[in-house]
Amino acid sequence: MGGGFTGLWTARELKRRDPSLRVAVLEKSVCGFGASGRNGGWASALYPLGDDAVIARHGRAAFDHLRLELQGAVRSLGASIAADGIDAHFIQGGSLTFARSDVQAKRLRDGVAAAAEHGYDADDLTWLDEGAARERGNVSNSLGATYTPHCARLHPARLVRGLAEVDERLGVDIYENTTVTRIVGGHDGTLAEVITAHASVHARFVVRATEGFTSTLPGERRSVAPIYSLMIATEPQPASFWDEVGFRDYETFADDRHLIIYGQRTNDDRVAFGGRGAPYHFASTVEERFDLNPKVFTLLESTLRELFPSLSGDVSHRWGGPLAMPRDLSPSVLVDYPTGLASAGGYTGDGVVMSYLAANCLADLISAPGAETSFTTLPFVQHRSKRWEVEPLRWMGINVGLGLAAWADRVERRKNQESRASHWLDRLFNQFPP
């Protein structure tokens, strides 16, 4: 259920493991309608939880396993789409996170030192001084940057539509414009059932892969919080612009502000740029009108032009959509064998690679129950997140967090020192109790 990355990768991996399986994908709109077709195109080894939080919850061995699997998944995702002949503009040029103030530079250098203590080496994450950073990418007021090779940029819509075509070639039945109204688990030998407005589907396993739209399902309003991330894209930039700013290897880029931003150079030389800042809507409401927020679009364009003063032309595209944030920030892959109900999601914006990894977990768990593989032993497998608080606590907590992030950034810009809000943000968004 869900025709995004998670559903389509899972269908592909199941058919690869056992071509005799009958697999169907049910999608309310069209494949890629959700975050899978609208995201920033970062195929990264990022994980929603910080390293210290993962180690505290699961131990150092589990953290090391997760880190290496995520890094390997960036490469294997690229190899998989190449093998399938999907032209998704995948280029693994790495990622740059710029320091544009002294406080950001200190935080990033401290992060590199902490990463070294956690087992990363200079080939995984390194600090580039101002000159070395400018050789890769030139943004205004840069004092240096961290660089990691474990990130690729891609065209998400081309990937998700390509995956749908691959699945159909493998024999997967895809039913678009099919609204699921209810899921019923199996019991006493009966199969699980997916009920739609026109028909029902019975299956040994039903995988719910609905990510940011999960809260619209009966009984799931507190499972995840739908957080809106918005994007803009510029007109194609001239060669002179790219000669000035670099990004010759199509590195993705951000800076170390608290209110997340992310960008990439596209194949046709646009800048695709996005960020957070849109409010969480009361009672986990998801509506199409929330995809467009003129205030956030204006702030994104202002930020982008601040990063690249020589940017020319207009913003040609604006869009957005919801992603899923669990209460403890941990993704999850769940399979309940007695009922046949399974799910994966809660990627909090890191879903391009995480969905690929989660799909492989699901495929192993479903096709070989009880088998222990490198996927089934990942720490988010069979993890069940705590449910979000009831309203209005949920609305207050999430929007206070967004406000703290914006406040911390303003203080750092004005005073060039870390804000006390940074401490509260870390506690609020990275140190949830498990």
Q: Is 421 helix (H, G, I), strand (E, B) or coil?
A: helix
Which residues does 72 contact at the CB level (< 8 Å), separation at least 6? none
Q: Is 323 helix (H, G, I), strand (E, B) or coil?
A: strand
Show the CA angle centred on residue 359, arms to residues 357 and 360, nearest 5°.
65
Does 143 share its domain with 232? yes
Distances in Å between the Cα of 106 and the Cα atoms of 66, 145, 256, 258, 325 are 27, 11, 10, 14, 28
| First CA to last CA distance, the chain | 27
Does 260 share its domain with 366? no
Does 104 share its domain with 18? no
Residue 402 covered by a domain: no
Token pair belonging to 5: 């990355």
Q: Is 413 helix (H, G, I), strand (E, B) or coil?
A: helix
Please name the helix (run of DSSP H) or strand (run of DSSP E) that holds residue 346, with its range, or none: none
Does 337 share its domain with 320? no
DSSP letter for each residue of 251-319: -EEEES-SS-EEEEE-TTS-EEEEE--PPPPGGG---GGGG--HHHHHHHHHHHHHH-TT--S-EEEEE
CATH code at position 333: 3.50.50.60
In which domain, by residue range, is 173 found? Answer: 1-91+153-224+328-388
Sequence-distant contacts of 54-60: CB under 8 A, at least 24 apart: 54/379, 55/118, 57/330, 57/379, 57/434, 58/379
Of 280, 299, 325, which residue constitutes the final position of a domain? 325
Residue 410 covered by a domain: no
Does 378 share its domain with 338? yes
Of 308, 325, 342, which residue constitutes the final position of a domain? 325
pTM: 0.95
Does 236 share its domain with 306? yes
Residue 405 covered by a domain: no
Does 241 share its domain with 377? no
Does 275 share its domain with 311? yes
CATH code at position 135: 3.30.9.10
Residue 342 covered by a domain: yes
Does 289 share its domain with 376? no
Q: Is 230 helix (H, G, I), strand (E, B) or coil?
A: strand
Q: Taking a C-beta distance cutoff of 8 angstroms, is the pair 115, 125 a contact? A: yes
Does 69 share its domain with 144? no
Does 260 share its domain with 309? yes
Tens place of pLDDT per residue across the chain (434 aa): 999 999 999 999 999 999 999 999 999 999 999 999 999 999 999 999 999 999 999 999 999 999 999 999 999 999 999 999 999 999 999 999 999 999 999 999 999 999 999 999 999 999 999 999 999 999 999 999 999 999 999 999 999 999 999 999 999 999 999 999 999 999 988 999 999 988 999 999 999 999 999 999 999 999 999 999 999 999 999 999 999 999 999 999 999 999 999 999 999 999 999 999 899 999 999 999 999 999 999 999 999 999 999 999 999 999 999 999 999 999 999 999 999 999 999 999 999 999 999 999 999 999 999 999 999 999 999 999 999 999 999 999 999 989 989 988 988 888 887 777 676 766 665 544 33
Does 31 share its domain with 15? yes
**Residue among 311, 92, 64, 354 nearest 209 (CA):** 354
Q: Taking a C-beta distance cutoff of 8 angstroms, is the pair 2, 208 a contact? A: yes
Domain count within the chain: 2
Residue 419 covered by a domain: no
Beta bridge mates, 195? 182, 200
User: What is the Cα–Cα distance from 212 to 249, expressed in whole angstroms?
Assistant: 31
User: What is the Cα–Cα distance from 76 to 306, expressed in whole angstroms?
Assistant: 36
Buried (b) or exposed (e) across 380-401, using 16+ Cβ within 10 A?
A: bbebebeebeeeeebbebbeeb
Q: Taking a C-beta distance cutoff of 8 angstroms, is the pair 111, 422 a contact? A: no
